[in-house]
Amino acid sequence: MFTRAEKIELGLIALATGALALVAGRLPKELEIGSFLAIGALALLGQGLLRDIWLLTKQRRAGAGVHREEARCICMESTVGLGGVLTGILLTALAVPFAVTMAEWAWPLAGGLVWCAGFAVKDVVIQWTPWKLRRVKDHGSILVRWR
């Protein structure tokens, strides 16, 4: 069952997708692949940023002490988002000529897919010692250790 916060996030995803559908006619019909990847990755990172700000605000209002688990891991959502932005920048800098054609209906579809994927992996961290994917609810309190 979803928590109240998760239900709100899903509602905001639906609203954002609907808003994207309303403005889709004014968005570009064609994008270079680098721009396409960077825009999608920035949408994913923006969603995570808004969620993190909400969680920090919630923790401060509760006045609860932050339990800091130490782990050798990194947030999957941030990793994919940063990787997408860097790949997009690299493809744009290399002037890769491949273009993505975007029909008007494709914009809200792409936005909804990106934001639903972000929702699905929001609690997943990539741990490298030992290697595994872990689900850690509200993992912003983890203190990342590289070694």
Percent of the chain with pLDDT over 70: 94
Distance CA 105, CA 88 (A): 23
pLDDT at res. 120: 96
- 137 vs 50, higher pLDDT: 50
pLDDT band of 55, cuts 50, 70, 90: confident
Domain ranges of the chain: 4-144
Distance CA 24, CA 137 (A): 34
Over range 10-38, report the average pLDDT: 97
Percent of the chain with pLDDT over 90: 67
pLDDT at res. 107: 98
pLDDT band of 56, cuts 50, 70, 90: confident
Over range 63-85, report the average pLDDT: 83
- Please give the structure tokens belonging to residue 100: 């993505």
Over range 104-119, report the average pLDDT: 97
pTM above 0.85, yes or no: yes
**Residue 25 gets which letter from DSSP?**
G
pLDDT at res. 62: 80
